[in-house]
Amino acid sequence: MEQWDANDKTVLITGGASGLGAGFAEGFLKHGAKNVVILDIAEELGKATVERLNKAHGNKAVFIKCDVSKEEDITRAFDAVLAHFKQIDVIINNAGNMADAPDTWRTATDVNWQGLVSFTLKGVKHMRKDEGGAGGTIINISSTAALVKLPFVPIYEGSKIAVLHFSQCLAMDPFYEDTGIRVLTICFGGTDTPIMQNLETKSYHPKLGKMFAAVIVPDEICQKVESAVTALVEMFKIGTPRSIWLSIDNKPVRDITPVIDRVFKDFENLFV
């Protein structure tokens, strides 16, 4: 099995100030990354995370404030990373928000979907070997919400299945052969991060929000952040181009590409 490593890589992480993103930054530094760049809207928290990482790993972490829901912020931040480091080897599109409420769903969708697409396309343009780049890896964070049907947060679920389908379609052969860019997707189950707090406020309707909080009990279903970080780092090391992975219940990460491919093959057979 081919192995990839993080040695001497510059890693860009959206939503990296806390939770999974901060964990990914720590994980990649422990595995030899040359630099990690944390992008987040939470400036004070991001700076504190970078200070902690730099104390532990030397001056290898940088924070850049970025609102992933705004294209001008994305462009400014991406250009700033390139100006400083000249090259980006790994992009982890981690920024996400579960907020289906009437006054928040549009911004949340911009973060979960539009921002991810924008960073992915900018990464492809920068990395692709057939246009002078050095290749690289783009990791898109989906969710088990893309694999199930639940009524509580349909907008969030829709954004996560969009991430899954976008990633697998983008990465279809001969994408890796042409570009040298490995696209990986990981679906996390419930994980002990702020997104799993105050579930009653997450739905588009108060009744569904109460049902959501009653059905989904974070203390019972959430895996540890450390487990999710280990899963993503392991996927980075062994994941083949276009592969899709599952991380749930503090279990070892699992390649579910064959399952997803079978499902879509069944869809295709509807047209035969």
What's the pLDDT tens digit per position in 170-221? 999 999 999 999 999 999 998 888 878 899 999 999 999 999 999 887 777 7
The domain that holds 82 is classified in CATH as 3.40.50.720
The reply to whether 38 falls in a domain is yes
In which band, very low, low, confident or very high, does the pLDDT at 143 lie, cut at 50, 70 and 90? very high
Over the chain, what is the mean pLDDT?
96
pLDDT at 122: 99
Report if residue 1 sits inside a domain: no
Alpha-carbon distance of 197 to 190, in angstroms, equals 11
5 belongs to a structural domain: no
Measured CA angle at 50 (ends 119, 227), to 5 deg: 75
* Residue of 24, 78, 119, 156 marked catalytic: 156
**Structural domain contains residue 4:** no
Which residue segment(s) compose the domain that 256 sits in? 10-269
- Report residue 258 as tokens: 């064959």
Measured from the Cβ of residue 170, the count of other Cβ atoms closer than 10 Å reads: 18
In this predicted structure, the answer to whether residue 43 has a pLDDT above a threshold of 80 is yes
How far is it, in rounded angstroms, from Cα 108 to Cα 38? 19
The reply to whether 54 falls in a domain is yes
Residue 241 lies in a domain: yes
For residue 80, count CB atoms less than 10 angstroms from its CB and return exposed for 0-12, middle for 13-18, buried for 19 or more: middle
Q: Which residues contact 177 (CB under 8 A, 6 or more apart)?
A: none
- The DSSP string of 63-114 is EEE--TT-HHHHHHHHHHHHHHHS---EEEE-------STTTHHHHHIIIII
> How far is residue 225 from each of residues 22, 35, 214, 230, 247, measured CA to CA in Å?
10, 21, 23, 9, 11
Question: For the chain, what is the domain count?
Answer: 1
- 156 as an active site residue: the answer is yes
Q: Please report whether residue 17 resides in a domain.
A: yes
Look at residue 40 and tell me if it is in a domain: yes
Least confident piece of the model among 12-21, 32-41, 193-202:
193-202
d(CA 63, CA 49): 9
Helix (H, G, I), strand (E, B) or coil at 216: coil
pTM of the model: 0.96
Residue 237 has pLDDT above 70, yes or no: yes
Mean pLDDT of 227-244: 98
